[in-house]
Amino acid sequence: MNALIARLVAKRLGIMLISLLVVAFAVFFATELLPGDVAQILLGQAATPEAVAGLRKSMHLDQPAFLRFLYWLGGLLTGDLGRSYANNREVADLIAGRLANSLELAFVTTLFSVPIALTLGITAAMFRGSTYDRLVLVFTVSVISIPEFMVATLAVMIFAVYLKWLPALSVASDVEGLGELLRIYAMPVITLSFVVSAQMIRMTRAAVIDTLDTAYVEMALLKGASRRRIVLRHALPNALGPIVNAMALSLSYLLGGVIIVETIFNYPGVAKLMVDAVSTRDLPLIQSCAMIFCVSYLLLILIADLVAIMANPRLRNQ
């Protein structure tokens, strides 16, 4: 690790912190500046003006919006996410279990889609211009340009309605044994894998093709190396950085997909929690869920950036 890399990494971290602050600002003000008095809504029609005033004071509602933003930010940093408006439970408790479920789903999907996407992306780049490459390209473009819920409905149509292999809805309440678990995860994972791997294949293919276009690959070709050797020995090691970068970036597509997939399959994760919170206008819950999504999104992008910096050999020995 030399000074140049350290400086680039520090700059990236700085940019991420600024983005995070802007995101927090946007989330807070998008939700706080709505018409209606929260205290009044919470206490209902019959509340006395004194009670409303008391609650306003205890919730800091009588203070300027910017101060409330600082209180809220401080709460987030210390793990105090506030209380849900809908059932008065701690938001942190509500989210904890759900977050584990969502992460599980994301993890299993990653485990599935990364190897498949890598193989398809690299082989498509190897046989660029062939019928195989065209097929992969058509597949990825179609999956990217149809909505996630269509992938989900098609998956249900094929696997649950026509083939009758899997249940259409997954309720992860009582799981007994591995077979049950697989059946429950199958549908959401298949859908998400499709969405994510389409992005991944496209970006991996582009990354490998970029390295295949370099002078040293041409050199290897001229000295008579086989196509296999050119790709696996010469191009791939150099494409690793861009590929990992591409993977981290495509994993950020999980976030959009997860919202749709958890809703359609009734999967008890954070995204479902957030969509439900939106319909009941449960603001503290929405804010916290939104921040979780933004943080994970920014983290993935940060990882992608850092990998790109680390993988650049020109920065390594200077």
Partner 1 sequence: MTTTASARKGRFGWHMNAVGIIGAAIILFWMVVAIAAPWISPYPVGQIVDFDYYGPMSAQFWLGTDYLGRDMLSRVLMGARYTVGISLAAVAIACFVGVTLGMIAAVVGGWFDAILSRFLDALNSLPSLMFGLVVVAAVGSSMTVLVLTIAVLYAPGSYRFARALAVNVNAMDFVTVARARGEGTIYTIREEIFPNIIGPVLADFGLRFVFIVLLLSGLSFLGLGVQPPNADWGALVRENIGGLSFGAPAVIMPSIAIASLTISVNMLIDNLPRRIRDRSE
Min separation Cβ 237 and partner 1, Å: 29
The yes or no reply on residue 109 touching partner 1 (CB under 8 A) is: no
Query: Which lies closer to partner 1 via its Cβ, residue 125 or residue 274?
Result: 274
Identify the residue among 41, 51, 67, 161 touching partner 1 (CB under 8 A): 161
Min separation Cβ 274 and partner 1, Å: 6
**Using CB under 8 A, which of the segments 57-65, 120-128, 170-178, 276-284 binds partner 1?**
276-284
CB atoms within 10 A of CB 202: 22
Query: Which structure tokens are listed for 271?
Result: 């995204």
The yes or no reply on residue 260 touching partner 1 (CB under 8 A) is: yes
Measured CA to CA, the distance from residue 251 to residue 114 in angstroms comes to 9
The yes or no reply on residue 94 touching partner 1 (CB under 8 A) is: no
Query: Which lies closer to partner 1 via its Cβ, residue 9 or residue 168?
Result: 168
The yes or no reply on residue 22 touching partner 1 (CB under 8 A) is: yes
Residues near partner 1 (CB under 8 A), total: 50
Contact (Cβ atoms closer than 8 angstroms) between residue 200 and residue 250: yes
The yes or no reply on residue 264 touching partner 1 (CB under 8 A) is: yes
For tokens 């390594």, the residue is: 316
The yes or no reply on residue 283 touching partner 1 (CB under 8 A) is: yes
Q: Using DSSP, state whether 164 is helix, strand or coil.
A: coil
Contact (Cβ atoms closer than 8 angstroms) between residue 172 and residue 105: no
**Using CB under 8 A, which of the segments 23-31, 72-80, 85-93, 233-241 binds partner 1?**
23-31
Q: What angle do CA 170, 172, 174 make, to 5 degrees?
A: 125
Sorted by sequence, the CB contacts under 8 Å of residue 198 that are 6+ apart come out as 139, 140, 143, 144
Min separation Cβ 186 and partner 1, Å: 16
**Using CB under 8 A, which of the segments 40-48, 73-81, 173-181, 257-265 binds partner 1?**
257-265
Min separation Cβ 47 and partner 1, Å: 23
Query: Which lies closer to partner 1 via its Cβ, residue 27 or residue 118?
Result: 27
Contact (Cβ atoms closer than 8 angstroms) between residue 103 and residue 296: no
DSSP per residue, 242-311:
HHHHHHHHHHTHHHHHHHHHHHHTT--SHHHHHHHHHHHT-HHHHHHHHHHHHHHHHHHHHHHHHHHHHT
Contact (Cβ atoms closer than 8 angstroms) between residue 34 and residue 61: no
The yes or no reply on residue 256 touching partner 1 (CB under 8 A) is: yes
The yes or no reply on residue 8 touching partner 1 (CB under 8 A) is: no
For tokens 């500046």, the residue is: 33
Measured CA to CA, the distance from residue 92 to residue 95 in angstroms comes to 5
User: Under rule CB under 8 A, which residues in 126-155 are in contact with partner 1?
Assistant: 141-142, 145-150, 153-154
Binding site for partner 1 (CB under 8 A): 15, 18-19, 22-23, 26-27, 30-34, 141-142, 145-150, 153-154, 156-157, 160-162, 168, 252, 255-256, 259-260, 263-264, 274-275, 277-279, 281, 283, 286-287, 290, 293-294, 297-298, 301
